[in-house]
Amino acid sequence: MKNLLIFSLTCLFTTLIANASGIDGTSGLSGYMAFIDTTRQNQNVTSPEEPVSESNPERPAEEKGTPEEEDGEENQGSNGGEENQEENSEEGNREGKEEEESAQESNNDSSDDNRQEDEDKEEPKPSYWSSGGQTTLGFSQISLSNWASGGHESQSFNTRFNSFVNYKTPGNKTTWENTLDIRYGLINQKDRQTVKSDDLLDFSSKFGLRASEHWSYSSLLSFRTQFAQGFRRPTDTVKISDFMAPAYLNISIGMDHKFDDNISFYMSPLAGRVTYVLDEYLSQAGAFGVEEGKNRRYEFGGFVRVMFSAELIENITAQSKLELFSNYLEKPQNLTINSDTRINMRINQYISANLDIHMRYDENATIRVDTTGDGQLDTTLPPRIQIKQVFGLGLSYSF
């Protein structure tokens, strides 16, 4: 500032002198103005006081960049924004991938948990048990009124229940067959007492271990008796049988051969048979081969049983059983025979007709009768084939 003031005073003094001398002052003034402009430009460069830019208070005005620099800065700003956008986009993608990975891991964990739960659940084991059966109920009635041909009014009732429960492993390596047959029937005639027409309780159990394709090592247990008292004739008062009089228990060990699903053949060289007569009156009479006053008879011998079951034609089935026993200890040539055949004719789901034929022969089962009417069994009949036939039509239910 001091130099400028001195220079201004010098120029003014020179001008005054030029005017006084008659020299044109225009050139001097022009030179003075040019000098002033040059001095200002130099001052802008060398001035210690630097004005502050309005747009950037922290940056001096003269340090404001050129348009190219400003454009560069703008480009850098835009590039920085783009870079920020790219960074934000990359972060968003990264976060999205992380979320997807987290969701996938969660799904995998859930799948693993479900798989583990499924594995923890016990798979249903195959059942080796099978069961079934049939029950029948029949009823008949005869009513007469002024019937010239004569006859007797009667009512009859009979029922039968048979069932099975079997156990078989794959390949029939182990088998266990159980059957139960129960029958009971009554008949009532006018002016006569009610007597039974059918009476049976028969249980059988056979266990086997497979030896070959058709043969098995087997053991058999069977038990047979009746429920109620039996009389030879409806007018008789002396019983000839009762519950557990007689009763037969058979135990044997042998081999079982299955030809197919319909026929089986069991034979045992080692079989025991026990005959029970637990009624005191019949025991004292020596009924069914027991010694008088005894209630058991023991036998040892061989045993054979043949079973047959098949559907003959549609809705008609047949079941048959034949049992043979030979007592090694006494008259082995005289066989004890027990045969039972049943034919079932199914009419519909709940109605069927049944034919049962039961045959027996037992040399020890002598028949004693009262011939004098005094209540004493005084006559013994020789052994003979016993036959019982029952035909019925009634309700039937299978399960």
pLDDT at 53: 46
In the DSSP assignment, the letter for residue 126 is: P
* Assigned token pair, 231: 């009389």
pLDDT tens for the chain, 399 residues: list them: 555 555 556 555 555 545 544 444 444 445 545 555 555 555 554 444 444 444 444 444 444 445 445 554 444 454 444 555 555 555 655 655 666 666 566 555 555 555 655 555 556 677 899 999 999 999 888 888 888 777 778 889 999 999 999 999 998 899 999 999 999 999 888 777 788 989 999 999 999 999 998 999 999 999 999 999 988 777 777 888 999 999 999 999 999 999 888 999 999 999 999 999 999 999 998 888 899 899 999 999 999 999 999 999 999 999 999 999 999 999 999 999 999 999 999 999 899 999 999 999 998 877 666 677 666 666 777 788 889 998 888 999 988
pLDDT at 139: 87
What is the Cα–Cα distance from 120 to 116, expressed in whole angstroms?
A: 6
Can you tell me whether residue 9 is helix, strand or coil? helix
Give me Rg for the CA atoms of the chain: 61
Which residue ranges form the domains of the chain, and what is each CATH number? 129-398 (2.40.230)
CB-side exposure of 189: number of CA atoms within 13 Å?
Answer: 9
What is the Cα–Cα distance from 362 to 381, expressed in whole angstroms?
A: 13
What is the Cα–Cα distance from 142 to 4, expressed in whole angstroms?
A: 161
- Separate counts of helices (H) and strands (E) for the chain: 4, 16
Contacts of 24 (CB under 8 A, 6+ apart): 18
Can you tell me whether residue 92 is helix, strand or coil? helix
What is the reported pTM? Answer: 0.67
What is the Cα–Cα distance from 227 to 183, expressed in whole angstroms?
A: 9
- Residues 19 and 51 sit within 8 Å (Cβ to Cβ): no
What is the Cα–Cα distance from 323 to 339, expressed in whole angstroms?
A: 6
Residue at 132: amino acid letter = G
